[in-house]
Amino acid sequence: MSAPKTYLNAVSAVPGATPVHVAVIMDGNGRWARARNFPVMAGHRAGAEAVRRCVRGAINHGVRYLTLYAFSSENWRRTPQEVGDLTTLLRFYLRHKVAELHREGVRLVVIGDVGRFESSLRDEISRAEKLTARNTRLTMVLALSYGARADITRAARLMAEAAIRGDLDITQANENDLARFLQTHQFPDPDLVVRTSGERRLSNFLLWESAYAELAFLDVLWPDFNEEHFAALMADFERRERRFGGRVEHRTVAP
């Protein structure tokens, strides 16, 4: 299979490395369904199966962290029926598919404003996180009701509160101080950010963390994404040179 079409932001002096952290904007479920005269929910179901293939690809290629943009803060603006369908599907997979992730050694972590979901769904999220908390093969981060600007704003507020308490000297504060208040503080920054469906924007996803990420934009709709696409992305990443603007420091990856 030929490599997927990408629009690259080539920027490290060490080509050939596997990305530690891959982040994916899973886009195209609705268009996939409409092209087949299916209800939108069918596209979301097919997209959920693509998640399984993406997780398998990440495990096979030794990726340590996989972040999936599953439900954005802007998705709340969709019709009540589609929001209901999405949350119903999410509840189903948390209830019935997390055991499969657990058997594969995958740890599940959720970021975002999950307080907007009803309590039963929050309980399912908590149960899934607790069940998989000790797994180390792959950390899968689900971004749910997530928006990068909101998270940066929240981090700035928490940093200001720390300064008011006297826990932080605001006159000496730097970007590392703010980063430790982000919901993603426990993970390394993404090395590669992928978006499917041919769109070429980040759509309020990991804006702070993606400052030096490589970008790849695929024309494939998310429900059609498979392990061959993942392998092609890894091959493309290995050919890139990443210099980080001359920066040499890197965030430490937890063992």
The reply to whether 75 belongs to the active site is: yes
Choice among 60, 75, 85, 174 that is catalytic? 75
Residue 82 is assigned to a ligand binding site: no
Q: Quote the DSSP letter at residue 21.
A: E
12, 245 Cβ separation under 8 angstroms: no
Give the span between the Cα atoms of 82 and 145, in whole angstroms. Answer: 14
Residue 208 is assigned to a ligand binding site: no
The reply to whether 27 belongs to the active site is: yes
Residue 214 is assigned to a ligand binding site: yes
Q: At which residue do the structure tokens 């997780």 appear?
A: 55
Residue 78 is assigned to a ligand binding site: yes
Residue 2 is assigned to a ligand binding site: no
Residue 85 is assigned to a ligand binding site: no
Choice among 9, 27, 37, 191 that is catalytic? 27
Strand duo 65-72 + 106-111: pairing: unpaired
> Strand order in 65-72's β-sheet?
106-111, 138-146, 65-72, 21-25, 192-195, 214-217
Residue 76 is assigned to a ligand binding site: yes
Assigned token pair, 25: 């904007």
Residue 176 is assigned to a ligand binding site: no
Annotated binding site: 27-32, 44, 72-74, 76, 78, 195, 201-203, 214
Annotated binding site for substrate: 28-32, 44, 72-74, 76, 78, 195, 201-203
Catalytic residues: 27, 75
Annotated binding site for Mg(2+): 27, 214
